[in-house]
Amino acid sequence: MKLATLDNGTRDGCLLVVSRDLKRALDVSHIAVNMLAAIENWRSVEPQLQALYTQLNAGQFDGSLAFDPTAVMAPLPRTYQWLDGSAFLNHGELMQKAFHLDPIEGADITPLMYQGAGDDFLGSRADIPLPSESLGIDFEGEYGVIVDSVPMSCSAADAAAHIKLIVQINDMSLRALAPREMKTGFGFVQAKSSSSFAAVAVTPDELGDAWQDQRVHLPLQVNWNGEWFGHPNGREMNFSFAELIAHAAFTRKLSAGTIIGSGTVSNADRSAGSACISERRAIEMIEHGKPQTGFMQFGDRVQMDVIGADGQSLFGGIDQRVVAAD
């Protein structure tokens, strides 16, 4: 099943069921007024939404409308909690090598994770407004999951059942601000502007065989200003989404609607490219002694997409420009 949020002028939008081919959509606000309401009441609303999704794909619903990715918000425009991991150890190892950093003790055993701001997510075609080009503007291609209510100390084995939707994310980073915030030990605030999400969220079954071991076994296609930047595959996650959920829930419950990100998708094979500029710069530093690629400038465009086995976009993709904030 594919779900989206129509921008109807309200803060949380209107819930849509979207056809598998991303061509048609159906207003289902009579079942759940918005995405958060659907996640909070998933057990009761999911069968109703699934039935309408089946009808929509069969062309049996006259009340549908053309799906327009420019008219939707992030699938979950705001939520109580946004937790982002760093589940691809290759990315961290490249950073450590490039900047001559000491390895983080236990990073291969215990996932790294920070708590971000969940109050203002951007839609897949929304401009990314920022105050200055000097902030080291960087995109970050990720996968993520949305969970229902997760009990405290939930095991990884049990956590898998709490994954209700999978999302595609552009977790923007401001690299010039990150070093100071990391040194404080209090985590990111200014260095993380509003994250963006692809047009639709999908249930795990939509991925078919590409959803294995709570990982997305598909390449994330990234283009910057119309040129290929990378296509790293999500299968190389060192920690599964179930393990990330269990880590986050060790000392507290997670509210329904919590989003957990994978961190930058990264592969050991250099031919896969990268999903963020910072990683490419790290590789350049290792191979050439200094970075050769600059960060984003106003007017730059980033595109990200995930193509399924049928050759179609799974999440509706991301296509955004960085612009000067008013």
Phi, psi for 212 (deg, rounded to 5): -135, 135
Predicted local confidence at residue 99, as pLDDT: 85
202, β-bridge pairs: 2, 166
Whether the CB-CB separation of 305 and 312 falls below 8 Å is answered with no
Cβ atoms within 10 Å, residue 91 = 25
Predicted local confidence at residue 179, as pLDDT: 82
Cβ atoms within 10 Å, residue 104 = 12
DSSP per-residue letters across 257-303:
T-EEE--S---SSGGGB-SBHHHHHHHHHHHHSS-----B-TT-EEE
Predicted local confidence at residue 168, as pLDDT: 98
Cβ atoms within 10 Å, residue 130 = 18
Q: In Å, how far from its chain's centre is CA 311? A: 21
- 100 or 279, which is more confident: 279
Query: Nearest-5° angle of CA 299, CA 305, CA 215?
Result: 130
Token pair recorded at residue 149: 């209510």
Q: Rounded CA gap, 123 and 16, in Å?
A: 14
User: What does R_g of the chain's alpha carbons equal in angstroms?
Assistant: 19
Predicted local confidence at residue 300, as pLDDT: 98
- Taking the domain 82-324, which CATH number applies? 3.90.850.10
Query: Nearest-5° angle of CA 10, CA 171, CA 220?
Result: 110
Q: Rounded CA gap, 49 and 16, in Å?
A: 9
Q: Rounded CA gap, 10 and 37, in Å?
A: 14
Helices (H) and strands (E) in the chain, counts: 7, 20
Q: Report the percent of the chain where pLDDT is more than 90.
A: 89
What average pLDDT does the chain have?
96
Q: Which whole number is the average pLDDT over 235-242?
A: 98
Scan for tokens 């701001």, then name that residue: 117
Give the pLDDT band (50/70/90) at residue 114: very high
Give the pLDDT band (50/70/90) at residue 183: confident
Give the pLDDT band (50/70/90) at residue 178: confident
Token pair recorded at residue 194: 């509003």
Whether the CB-CB separation of 154 and 251 falls below 8 Å is answered with no
Q: Which whole number is the average pLDDT over 67-91?
A: 97
CA-to-CA separations, 105 to 110, 111, 185, 240, 294, in angstroms, rounded:
9, 11, 15, 20, 31
Structural domain boundaries in the chain = 2-71, 82-324
SS3 131: coil
Predicted local confidence at residue 139, as pLDDT: 98
Whether the CB-CB separation of 264 and 88 falls below 8 Å is answered with yes
Phi, psi for 238 (deg, rounded to 5): -75, -25
